[in-house]
Structure 1
Amino acid sequence: MTSPRPETVDEPAEPTAPHRRAPVWRGQGPVVAVVAVGGAAGASARYGAALLWPARTGGFPWTTFWVNVLGCFVIGVLMVLVTEVWAPHRLVRPFFGTGVLGGFTTFSTYAVDIRGLIGEGHPLTALAYLAATLFAALAAVWAAVALTRRVAGRRSAGQVPS
């Protein structure tokens, strides 16, 4: 015995025209391009900072520390500006946020520095660097968001007007 057929059946609609793909330039092409250009600029700036202020072997990696803290501060400013203050062109956020600041800040160098410090017999310096970078980067983002909102005349959602 067969089961009765339901009264409504979801059948695929017949396509009226073949699906056309949007040209790359109208799709994700420009986003990929600006992220690549921004990333090259950010990574070059970080590399330049490392050349100007090289880390001492076994010492605290101050250059990478300050690059990451500064980058996190600027990310906090940028995110408030592009999400709460003005509506930028669609490529501004990928260029500056993902590209420039993503290339400038560096989790990989941070991890390599920690591993190197441990391998060179400086576990306490490695632990201090690990913790200090984490807390300073988070504090930098928080401070940047609060400062930018204050300067821009915005208040966070949970803040009570005074």
Structure 2
Amino acid sequence: MNWLLVALGAAVGAPLRFLTDRAVQTRHDSVFPWGTFAVNVVGCLVLGVLTGAVTAGAASSRVQLFLGTGLCGALTTYSTFSYETLRLVEDGAKFYAALNVIAGVVAGLGAVFAGVLFGEALWD
């Protein structure tokens, strides 16, 4: 039954990723992949809060499978992040490629750490 929780979470996360990416990217007239950046950082924050909740005993392993593995797994995307970085380099936008890598990693790690602290504080 665990696979079903993951599949249901992914069924929510994948369209959410697509719609969020399009909504964010259409608001920016830039070669920088703001849509992918946004979904990855938000996904890191959600996963961090969820991890804090699980650590505090406020969320079950089933919630973790649905939200963490399913929803966040489909919402966030390392492959698109990598592809868009490569595309930026190939298009000569090396500054934006470097910015995408540095900002993506720093913001993602910051979001997950902040999320864990928030989740633990909220449910401790």
TM-score (norm 1): 0.70
Count of aligned positions: 123
Counterpart position of 1:48: 19
Counterpart CA distance in 1 for 2:104 and 2:34 is: 10
Counterpart position of 2:74: 103
Counterpart position of 1:81: 53
Counterpart CA distance in 1 for 2:74 and 2:55 is: 21
Structure with the higher fraction of residues in helix conformation:
2
TM-score (norm 2): 0.89
Pair member with larger Rg: 1
Question: For residues 78 and 130 of structure 1, do their structure 2 counterparts lie closer, same or farther at Cα, with a shift above 3 Å needed?
Answer: same
Question: For residues 132 and 103 of structure 1, do their structure 2 counterparts lie closer, same or farther at Cα, with a shift above 3 Å needed?
Answer: same
Counterpart CA distance in 2 for 1:41 and 1:142 is: 24
RMSD over aligned CA atoms reads 1.8
Secondary structure (helix, strand or coil) at the match of 1:53 reads helix
Q: Percent identity?
A: 36
- Are the aligned partners of 2:40 and 2:77 in contact in 1 as well (CA < 8 Å)? yes
Counterpart position of 1:123: 94
Secondary structure (helix, strand or coil) at the match of 2:98 reads helix
Q: Indicate which of 35, 40, 55 corresponds to 1:63.
A: 35
Q: Indicate which of 104, 120, 145 corresponds to 2:116.
A: 145
Counterpart CA distance in 2 for 1:114 and 1:60 is: 9
